[in-house]
Amino acid sequence: MVATSRTTVSTRLPKMSIVVRNRGRIVAGILAVWLLLWLVLRGTHTLALGGAQLTTVHHWFNDLNDAIGAGRDSNPLFLYFFDYIRVGIDEFVVFVQSIIAQPSFDRPVPLIGWFGVVALVGFVSWAVANVRVALLATAGFFFLGLQGLWRESMDTLALTLAAVIISLLVGIPLGIWAGMSDRFNRLVTPVLDFMQIMPSFVYLAPLTLFFLIGPASATIATLIYAAPPVIRLTAHGIRSAPHDTVEASESLGSTRTQTLTKVLLPAAKRTIVLGVNQTIMAALAMVTIAALIDAPGLGKTVVKALQTLDVGTAFNAGLAIVVMAIVLDRVTTAAADRGRRNRPYRIVLWLAALPTAFAVWLSYTYVWAAEFDSSLDIGSRIAVWAGDATTWVQSNLAPVTNGVKDVFTLVLIDPLQSVLADSPWWLVAAAVVAISLVVGSVRAAIVSAVCLALIVLSGLWSDSMTTLASTIVATVFTMIIAVLAGVWMGRSRRADRVIRPVLDAGQTMPVFVYLVPFLALFAASRFTAIAAAVVYAVPVATKIIADGVRGVSGTTVEASVASGSSTWQTITKVQLPMSARAVALATNQGLIYVLCMVVVGGLVGAGALGYDVVAGFSQGQLYGKGLAAGIAIVLLGVMLDRLTQAAANRTHRGG
Amino acid sequence: MHGTQVHDTQRPVISVRNLWKVFGPKAARVPGSAELGALSRRELLDRTGCTAAVRDIDFDVAPGEVFVVMGLSGSGKSTLVRCLTRLVEPTAGEVVFEGEDILRADPKRLRDLRRNKFSMVFQHFGLLPHRTVVDNVSYGLEIRGVSKAERVKRAKEVIELVGLDGYEGSYPDQLSGGMQQRVGLARALAGDPDVLLFDEPFSALDPLIRRDMQSEVIRLHHEVGKTMVFITHDLSEALKLGDRILIMRDGALVQIGTGDELVAAPADDYVRDFVRDVPRSHVLTLKWIMRPKRDDDPLDGPELGPDVVVREATRSVLAAEKPVKVVKDGELLGIVGDEEILSVIAGGSDS
Ligand SMILES: Nc1ncnc2c1ncn2[C@@H]1O[C@H](COP(=O)(O)OP(=O)(O)OP(=O)(O)O)[C@@H](O)[C@H]1O
Ligand SMILES: [Mg+2]
């Protein structure tokens, strides 16, 4: 046993590393040529474009926007299709808002005030999950009121709920269909993949073309982002229902519908609830981002504060988002894990509905229960405190933070950006296509060529290269951290137990939240955006690597140890090479997550494409440029995704 | 092939004729083609990418009979039994149940048959984890639209019949494997079917529980007297339960017969291998070991029937002074002496 494993280790790895080394040499050669030419040609053919400068493509997008805007009242496609969807969704959102968030029905306050909402949240949490999370949820929502952000929180909650309800109404039936029909499953899987690799903020812009800036676009964007998990997990749950049980049900003469409702859905229930959990978290994340297209709520408070660099207020609102995320996540996770209930428990639960209804009635009738008492507000104090802390950090830790920031900027970001953005565009393009060919495949090279050509067309070449530089730096750092943490987790169960919950928590947080502490530490700069992107992307990459390392067969590791390898040798010669595919996959996911943060980073000084997108939302004449920037981000994403996947497949095949 | 026809004069409950099940692309061409049908399973797979899980099988099951299907893993037993109620759709052939070809039934009729005439017990139980024992047992009645009160009443009856009273409110994961399979059994009995199908129902259980469950099936068979088709790969189980046994290899039928027929007259080496380790004295009957009467045989010894198992006859044959006469309906069939008995008990060698 040991002997055979050892031979596999010793015969397979060198072959692979020779191939890798050869490819590495070619890539190094390409890079060397590029650097040489850069020294000579830098500053020429860079296609740079000033901040307010526009190209014909941008004008054309502007005109398109205007034309669509002008045609909105006459074009039948709008009158009978888009407008119906827009108005329908708008009204639904307004309806949900009028219940918990906005004054409505000729009342100065929403139908249900804070007291009723807190009671309802507690009751529903208890009903779907357990008492413990019900207490957590009640406390969490009460805290939102204390923060002085009740209305904003309820706006965010209303939008999230509206989007989640529509997502589930669409997603669960689609998921069931995909679970029952192989053909439909094959059809939707690539579509879902694509929906999920698209940086989520990018489709905000095109959506506003058709649905205007406002709740409808925000909800549809949220829908696109949030529906895939529940579709996927519903289908997965149905597909993995125990075959025996399904067969037993059929053998007793069930119809298809009976098998679905009595066997498949109950069996898939836990998985579906997990899908609902992911959908809710994705919706919350997206609703806060949709503040960029004027969606009301906490996200808007954060965006405004970020734009004025008011860290204190951003911190307070960010904290509210975290609280809401924790509550929603804990409640739905606990709902998935809920055990069986006996009868007395159910009776007590029904009895608890009475005081809840009473609380709702109170909050409908009395002002004290409708509006959160603003004298209890601790939010402004939190904001002041966070602002003070930031000032203190910035004035006292400045040598350290600025030092770190400057070193990174000078040593890494600037040179890379200079090589990418100051080279002639054709040089960069040629080098990227060549590298795609060497480490990826012919197909990857063609995809790269097409994407690069389209980026040139978008008129934002220079900005794209700046963004690409930040993306590469962020991805490299993500991977360094992910490999270190992933290997540690993969080798030690204890480390896994400690780190994994932290990563899980990190993954459920809406992206905005990451920006705030980094803004406090490093002020607005490219470095801040990169740091936030790294923190955002590390959890997913780390988990993939940890699972890959853990997946390396124990016998092989044992054989390597038995033949006298040191720990370091075991890691570098056995565990990492054998989980090469996981590392490649982690790089791919890391890249996509980093790109997702590009737009958000635009808010805190990342500049380039992210800034173009953000500016496009706020300034009419930059609309076209913003749209082009969004497209450029997608193009970068598609190119990097295809390239890393091709590289991963190649690693997998070992040559 | 041996003994394809039912010995009884009664009309069979199930007649299977030329039954084929082929998995794979364009499966339907295989049964029709003499050339493809003649290939071995391996060759067929290489040539066409198809697996013939059941190939050209014929048999009849008599009312009240326990019919056992046996074979090694992968020989197509599960596929065969699923073809009977079209849980797996057969590729070609006929399955006639009470004069009706099941393969021609429309979906509604098929559902009716499954609801009222057949029930199946599965290897891994196939219970619904989110339902209590009562709700599992009454599931078949529920989907027929039987009222709640009535189906609970019926469920309680069968739960008692399989010896699970007191566990009505438990969930499957709170029960041991043996108890779970009792639930599976109760579920199959609840609809009062004519035919019970068992697909290796006890192979997931440990040996002691398995023995209990086998006795349970024998007891139930006596009590409710249903026709049973029982799949197993365990020969001792087959011999214990089966009136007749069908042996399959690579999807094809090798031999059908009673236990003693298989042991005494195996059709080929495959069957011989199967029955090699059987204690022959427990299975063989006197008719298989008797010798023709010789002239010098004294004819005043005791008499025994031809279907007496050797083990049971041993004591009387050895105790008797004279050789034992094997007699049926007053006719002398042969003679069994100490020598014949001892050769069975001592030697494993084939007769
Ligand atoms: N759905 C299927 N698709 C393709 N091949 C199948 C399918 N089901 C069964 N087979 C093949 O048919 C053959 C017979 O399988 P079957 O499950 O009937 O055997 P079995 O005798 O029940 O074996 P076991 O004792 O392991 O349960 C096997 O070679 C199996 O691979
Ligand atoms: Mg089987």
Q: How many Å apart are CA A220 and CA A90, to the nearest integer?
A: 10
How far does the centroid of ligand 2 lie from the alpha carbon of residue B88, in Å? 13
Q: Nearest CA to A299 among A161, A92, A153, A150?
A: A153
What span, in angstroms and rounded, lies between the C-alpha atoms of A368 and A366? 6
Q: Is the CB of B55 under 6 A from ligand 1?
A: no
- Is a pLDDT exceeding 70 seen at residue A93? yes
For chain A, the residues whose C-beta falls within 8 A of a C-beta of chain B are 242, 244-255, 258, 262-263, 266-267, 269, 340
Query: Which residues in chain B have Cβ-Cβ distances shorter than 8 Å to A262?
Result: 128, 139, 142-143
> CA B3, CA A272: separation in Å to the nearest integer?
53
| Same domain (yes/no): A630, A531 | yes
- What pLDDT does A153 receive? 94
**In this structure, is residue A216 part of a structural domain?**
yes
Task: For residue B126, list chain A residues with Cβ-Cβ distance below 8 A.
Answer: 242, 244-249
Q: What is the pLDDT of residue A538?
A: 92
- Which amino acid type is present at position A324? M
- pLDDT(A648) > 60: yes
Q: Return the pLDDT at A17.
A: 52
Give the pLDDT of residue A253: 92
Residue A79 pLDDT > 80: no
How far the first Cα of chain A sits from its last, in Å, is 27
Taking the C-alpha atoms of residue A348 and residue A336, their distance in angstroms, rounded to an integer, is: 21
What integer pLDDT is reported at residue A201 of this predicted model? 67
Q: What is the rounded average pLDDT of the residues B330-335?
A: 86
| Mean pLDDT value across residues B106-130 | 92
Whether residue A330 is contained in a domain is answered as no
Residue A198 makes CB contacts below 8 A (sequence gap 6+) with: A634, A637
At B18, is the pLDDT very low, low, confident or very high (cuts 50, 70, 90)? very high
**Residue B106 above 90 pLDDT?**
yes
Mutate to test the pocket of ligand 1, among B21, B51, B249 (most ligand atoms within 8 A of CB): B51
Residue B347 binned pLDDT confidence (cut-offs 50, 70, 90): low
Substitution target from B109, B110, B124, B170 for chain A, most A beta carbons within 10 A? B124
Asked whether residue A605 is assigned to any structural domain, the reply reads yes
* Across A38-47, A94-103, B166-175, least confident range: A38-47
Mean pLDDT of chain A: 85
Write the DSSP symbol of residue B11. P
Q: Which atom of ligand 1 is nearest to the CA of B79?
A: 18
Is B270 touching ligand 1 by the criterion CB < 6 Å? Answer: no
Q: pLDDT value at position B86?
A: 93
Q: Is residue A225 part of a domain?
A: yes
CA distance B194 to chain A (A): 13
Closest approach atom of ligand 1 to CA B75: 21
pLDDT at residue A200, as a whole number: 66
Q: A532 lies in which domain range? A: 27-42+53-74+396-655
Q: How far apart are CA A624 and CA B16, in angstroms?
A: 73
Number of separate domains in chain A: 2
CB of B73 shorter than 6 A to ligand 1: yes
What is the Cα–Cα distance from A521 to A513, expressed in whole angstroms? Answer: 14
Closest approach of chain A CAs to the CA of B79, in angstroms? Answer: 13
Which chain A residues are closer than 8 Å to B87 by Cβ? 247, 250-251
- Range of weakest confidence among A408-422, A606-620, B321-335: A606-620
The C-alpha atoms of residue A616 and residue A610 are separated, in whole angstroms, by 10
What's the 3-state SS for B209-264? HHHHHHHHHHHHHHHHCCEEEEEECCHHHHHHHCCEEEEEECCEEEEEECHHHHHH
Considering the domain architecture, whether residues A70 and A211 belong to the same structural domain is answered as no
Above 50 in pLDDT, residue B246? yes
Of B87, B115, B126, the CB nearest to A245: B126
Residue bearing the CA closest to ligand 1, atom 14: B76
**What is the rounded distance in angstroms from the CA atom of residue A622 to the CA atom of residue A615?**
7
Q: Are residues A419 and A477 in the same domain?
A: yes
pLDDT of residue A541 exceeding 70, the answer is yes
Ligand 1 atom 7, closest CA = B23
Search chain B and give the residue with CA nearest A265. Answer: B130
Q: Residue B351 pLDDT more than 70?
A: no
Give me the residues paired with residue B101 across strands: B96
pTM: 0.81
Residues of A in contact with B191 (CB under 8 A): 252
Between A390 and A2, whose confidence is greater? A390
B91 lines ligand 1 (CB under 6 A): no
Number of cross-chain residue pairs from A and B with Cβ atoms under 8 Å apart = 72
Q: A306 and A433 share a domain?
A: no
Q: Are B163 and B181 in contact (CB under 8 A)?
A: no
Q: Where residue A20 falls among pLDDT bands split at 50, 70, 90?
A: low
Domain end point (choices A252, A284, A311): A311
If you average pLDDT over each of B26-35, B190-199, B201-210, B303-312, which comes out highest? B190-199
Identity of the residue in B87, B116, B171 whose CB atom sits nearest the CB atom of A251: B87
Q: How far apart, in whole angstroms, are the C-alpha atoms of residue A58 and residue A60?
A: 5
B87 touching A (Cβ < 8 Å): yes
CA A654, CA A581: separation in Å to the nearest integer?
10
For residue B174 the two structure tokens come to: 């709170």
Mean pLDDT, chain B, rounded, equals: 88
Q: Which chain B residues are closer than 8 Å to A245 by Cβ?
A: 126-129
| Residue A436 scores a pLDDT above 80 | yes
- Beta strands at B195-199 and B252-257: parallel, antiparallel or unpaired: unpaired
Give the model's pLDDT for residue B67: 95
Is the domain of A68 the same as that of A177?
Answer: no
Q: Supply the pLDDT for residue A12.
A: 45
Task: Provide the 3-class DSSP secondary structure of residue B54.
Answer: strand
Residue A334 domain-assigned?
A: no
Binary contact (A266, B85; C-beta < 8 A): no
Ligand 1 touching residue B78 (CB < 6 A)? yes
Q: How far is the CA of B77 from the centre of ligand 1 (A)?
A: 8
For residue B113, the chain A residues in CB contact (below 8 A) are 253
Q: Do residues A418 and A292 both lie within one domain?
A: no
Is residue B74 in contact with ligand 1, taking CB distance under 6 Å? Answer: yes
* For the CA of B231, the nearest atom of ligand 1: 22
pLDDT digit string, tens, across residues A633-642: 888 888 888 8
What residue of B is the nearest CA neighbor of A245? B126
Taking residues A9-34, report their average pLDDT. 68
Instruction: For residue A301, give the CATH number of its domain.
Output: 1.10.3720.10
Q: Does the pLDDT of residue A196 top 90, yes or no?
A: no
Give B118's contacts in chain A (Cβ within 8 Å): 251
Residue whose CA is at the smallest distance from ligand 1 atom 13: B53
- Does the CB atom of residue B201 touch ligand 1 within 6 A? no
Does the residue A317 lie in any domain? no
Q: Which of A14-23, A243-252, A294-303 has the highest mean pLDDT?
A: A243-252
Rounded CA separation B71/B53 (Å): 12
Under DSSP, is residue A270 helix (H, G, I), strand (E, B) or coil?
Answer: helix
Q: Which of B77, B232, B250 to mutate to test the pocket of ligand 1 (most atoms within 8 A of CB)?
A: B77
Chain B positions in Cβ-Cβ contact with residue A340 (cut-off 8 Å): 171
* Nearest residue on chain B to A270, alpha-carbon basis: B130
Q: Can you give the pLDDT at residue A622?
A: 83
Q: Does B51 touch chain A (CB under 8 A)?
A: no
Contacts 24+ apart (CB under 8 A), B269-273: B271/B247, B272/B350
Q: Do both A558 and A470 map to the same domain?
A: yes
In this structure, the answer to whether residues A520 and A408 fall within a common structural domain is yes
Sign of torsion, CA A392 A394 A396 A397?
positive
Q: CA-based diameter of chain B, in Å? A: 74
Domain boundary among A256, A283, A311: A311
Residues A420 and A547 placed together within one structural domain of the fold: yes
Question: Whose CA is closest to B307, among B289, B286, B293, B328?
Answer: B286
User: In this predicted structure, what is the pLDDT of residue A652?
Assistant: 59
For residues A523 and A615, state if they share a domain. yes
Say what the ipTM of the complex is.
0.83
What local confidence, expressed as pLDDT, does residue A451 receive? 93
* Ligand 2 centroid distance, CA of A243 (Å): 13
- Could you report the per-residue pLDDT of A105-136, keeping only the tens digit for each? 888 888 888 999 999 999 999 999 889 999 99
| Ligand 1 proximity of B115 Cβ (cutoff 6 Å) | no
The whole-number average pLDDT for the span A418-429 is 88
- Alpha-helical (H) ranges within A552-618 are 554-562, 567-569, 576-578, 580-601, 608-618
Q: Out of B116, B125, B130, whose CB is closest to A244?
A: B125
Cβ within 8 Å, pair A244-B187: no
**Both tokens assigned to A170:** 């669409």
Q: Residue A11 pLDDT more than 50?
A: no
Indicate if A199 and A69 belong to the same structural domain: no
Tell me what pLDDT residue A593 has: 85
Q: Residues A93, A182: one domain?
A: yes
Q: Which residue has the higher pLDDT, B33 or A480?
A: A480
Confidence grade of residue A288 (pLDDT, cut at 50, 70, 90): confident
pLDDT at position B2 = 41
Q: What percent of chain A has pLDDT over 90?
A: 26
C-beta separation of A457 from A520 below 8 A: no
For the cut 50, the answer to whether the pLDDT of residue B32 exceeds it is yes
Residue A513 Cα distances to A154, A281, A324, A507, A508, angstroms: 18, 13, 12, 11, 11
Q: How far is the CA of B78 from the centre of ligand 2 (A)?
A: 4
A483 part of a folded domain = yes
* Residue in A251, A255, A273, A343 to test binding to B, most B beta-carbons within 10 Å: A251
Residues A310, A150: Cα–Cα separation, whole Å: 20
B:123-162 residues touching chain A, CB 8 A cutoff: 123-130, 139-140, 142-144
Q: Which residues of B touch A252 (CB under 8 A)?
A: 114-115, 119, 139-140, 143, 187, 191
From A296, A311, A326, give the residue that closes a domain: A311
The residue-averaged pLDDT of A241-252 equals 91
A495-523: pLDDT as tens digits: 888 988 888 888 777 777 877 888 878 88
pLDDT at residue B6 above 50?
no
User: Which among A244, A258, A269 has CB closest to B126?
Assistant: A244
Q: Do A253 and B124 touch (CB under 8 A)?
A: no
Residue A119 maps to a domain? no
